[in-house]
Amino acid sequence: MKHIAVYCGSASPADPRYVELARMVGDTLARRGIGVVYGGGRLGLMGAVADAALAAGGEVIGVIPEALVNAEVAHRGCTQLIEVTTMHQRKAEFTRLCDGFLTLPGGTGTMDELWEAMSWAQLGYHAKPVGVLNSFGFYDHLIALWRHMIEVGFVRPAHRGLLIAEHELDLLLDRMAAHEPAEPITKMDPASL
């Protein structure tokens, strides 16, 4: 994987472990030679990932809607900062630029990005790995929900492997690199995004 889209919050929780986690992720990706594609902000976990990757000599591509340039305080130190018009264009650009998706703790925007990456994998817009770093048990309930959706029958058994979750980053990255795509429900044209 040459580039990974990192989904995470633009907030900085009171618990310092979350910002430290984001810094560790940025540093690790850069040291592995993996470029970061992310939301383009300089605040919160987003900024911590970008700053750490840049400090370690990594490539950082920010993708940010024009309306959020000021609200999220665009990170002008990125290797490349791409301004788009809509949130949909932002997520389509993430998908175009990355070889996989890595989700750190975050809020509703992070969840939107994660579930869309999962949905697009099911529909055949992409065949890229979708990873969740479940540090501090942050995603325990989400992982349980994913399993419940499979058990009830809302997610096909063939798609159970679409969500790759681990507590340790190195193991998660290794599993993402070894990802075998599932057969999609249909084969959508990525150019139509």
State pLDDT tens for residues 36-63: 999 999 999 999 999 999 999 999 999 9
Residue 79, pLDDT above cutoff 80: yes
What is the pTM (predicted TM-score) of this model? 0.94
* pLDDT value, residue 60: 98
State pLDDT tens for residues 56-66: 999 999 999 99
Q: Both tokens of residue 58?
A: 């990594």
CB-neighbour burial class of residue 168 (10 A; exposed 0-12, middle 13-18, buried 19+): exposed
Residue 192, pLDDT above cutoff 70: yes
Residue-range domain boundaries for the chain: 3-179
Question: 88: Cβ–Cβ under 8 A, 6 or more apart, which residues?
Answer: 193
* pLDDT value, residue 72: 62
Q: Would you state the CATH architecture of domain 3-179?
A: 3-Layer(aba) Sandwich (3.40)
- How much of the chain exceeds pLDDT 70, in percent? 99
The mean pLDDT of 137-157, rounded to a whole number, is: 96
- How much of the chain exceeds pLDDT 90, in percent? 90
What is the distance of C-alpha 192 from the center of its chain?
21
Q: Could you tell me which residues are beta bridge partners of residue 5?
A: 37, 101
| Angstrom distance (rounded) from CA 52 to CA 58 | 9
- Coil, helix or strand at residue 185: coil
* pLDDT value, residue 183: 87
Average pLDDT, the chain: 94
